[in-house]
């Protein structure tokens, strides 16, 4: 399908944010089942491509091949995404008045979905928990964008995270708190462009959850499409490595109420006390109830956790402020020298896809 410049400018953009392991991938997959929605997950190509093209004032169709090559420089795009026929032609057909935002929208639109019943795209959704750090930057790129936070009981969130993180439960809990407090500040500044719903409500009352989501986003009838994701299990398993299949297997399974409160079976009392100490009383604002007596953290513990979060936050922001070429070079340097586990995970993805 061909999209004119006028059509592109009318397509709204939504970002799904929140702490990782809060059901954001599940929600993004459900949204992608809608025939009029292009819903992407986990890539940060937007932040990469923005750094190179943010000063573009006039679009030159001769740059189409280079633009597509630059989009694919993001590792997850290059090895996990495929694009539908007509992608390059549509980009090349855009007039000189096209902006980088228009080109970015076409990237989302032409990304091949696992769902085959796609019609004309009327909404774009991009999900990435790391976008929580960049909400101010994202709204400077797409000033009319809307943001949707999915929040989850911090104890269940940490329970789901500990299998994929070497950080102790206290640091994970502190990150949950910082992410959500940051999003609260953003929501206060942009109340009409931000909405929060609970993961637990998605699992226990999906019809009401999707009705509220539809009122906010105008993406209707999601409850009727929700089970479509169960039909893409084979595609999902073909596309991802064993590690990613395990990490995101819930996206192609029925909604599971057992995921609510599963920390009671999987965490020790001491671990729950630590999480409660970081996340309460804040978590009470979202209806979560403390299960352990109040326990104060020492000043040293609080400072250490906050320094850890602040350094990570600064590192991410600094990285995505670098020039495009420097960003790519530094990414490879960091992967090779400081992130062997992440590199191993990416190599698994690359190897898995090259065998197909």
Predicted local distance difference test score (pLDDT) of residue 252? 79
Q: Are 155 and 272 in contact (CB under 8 A)?
A: yes
Tokens representing 180?
């959500």
List, in order of start, the domains of the chain with CATH numbers. 5-152+190-259+322-354 (3.40.50)
Calculate the alpha carbon distances from 275 to 23, 164, 168, 250, 261 in Å.
Answer: 19, 17, 10, 24, 14
**Contact, 157 vs 262, CB < 8 A?**
no
Dihedral sign of CA atoms 8, 14, 16, 18 in order: positive
Q: Would the pTM of this model clear 0.75, i.e. be above it?
A: yes
| Residue 184: exposure state from Cβ atoms within 10 A (0-12, 13-18, ≥19) | middle
Q: What is the mean pLDDT of each run of 10 residues along the chain (356 residues)?
A: 96 97 94 95 91 96 97 86 95 98 98 92 96 96 98 97 89 97 97 97 96 97 89 70 62 88 94 94 96 86 94 93 91 72 63 52
Sequential DSSP letters for 179-227: HHHHHHHHHHH-GGGEEEEEHHHHHH-HHHHHHHHHHHH----HHHHGG
Q: What is the distance between the alpha carbons of residues 294 and 276, in angstroms, rounded to a whole number?
A: 8
- CA dihedral (165, 167, 170, 176) positive or negative: negative
Are 176 and 157 spatial neighbours (Cβ–Cβ below 8 Å)?
Answer: yes
Torsion of CA 327, 50, 39, 150, to 10 degrees: 80
């Amino acid at each position: 399908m061909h999209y004119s410049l006028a059509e592109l400018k009318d397509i709204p953009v939504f970002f799904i944010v929140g702490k990782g392991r809060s059901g954001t991938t599940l929600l993004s997959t459900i949204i992608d089942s809608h025939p009029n929605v292009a819903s992407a997950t986990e890539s940060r190509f937007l932040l990469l491509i923005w750094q190179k093209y943010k000063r573009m004032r006039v679009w030159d169709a001769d740059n189409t091949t280079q633009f597509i090559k630059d989009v694919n420089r993001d590792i997850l795009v290059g090895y996990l995404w495929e694009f539908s026929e007509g992608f390059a032609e549509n980009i090349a057909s855009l007039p000189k008045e096209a902006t980088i935002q228009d080109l970015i929208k076409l990237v989302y639109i032409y990304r091949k979905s696992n769902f085959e019943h796609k019609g004309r795209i009327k909404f774009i959704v991009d999900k990435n928990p790391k976008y929580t750090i960049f909400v101010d930057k994202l709204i400077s790129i797409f000033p009319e964008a809307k943001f949707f936070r999915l929040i989850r009981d911090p104890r269940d969130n940490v329970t789901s995270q500990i299998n994929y993180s070497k950080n102790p439960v206290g640091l994970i809990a502190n990150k949950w708190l910082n992410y959500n407090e940051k999003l609260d500040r953003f929501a206060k500044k942009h109340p009409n462009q931000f909405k929060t719903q609970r993961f637990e409500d998605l699992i226990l009352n999906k019809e009401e959850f999707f009705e509220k989501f539809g009122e906010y986003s105008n993406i209707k009838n999601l409850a009727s499409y929700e089970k479509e994701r169960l039909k893409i299990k084979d595609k999902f398993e073909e596309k991802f490595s064993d590690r990613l299949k395990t990490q995101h297997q819930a996206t192609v399974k029925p909604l599971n109420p057992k995921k609510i409160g599963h920390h009671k079976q999987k965490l020790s009392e001491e671990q729950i006390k630590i999480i409660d100490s970081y996340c309460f009383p804040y978590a009470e604002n979202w209806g979560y109830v403390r299960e352990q007596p109040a326990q104060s953290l020492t000043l040293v513990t609080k400072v250490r956790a906050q320094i850890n979060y602040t350094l990570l936050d600064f590192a991410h922001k600094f990285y995505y402020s670098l020039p495009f070429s420097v960003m790519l070079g530094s990414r490879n340097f960091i992967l090779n020298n400081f992130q062997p586990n992440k590199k191993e995970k990416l190599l698994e993805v690359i190897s898995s896809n090259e065998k197909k």
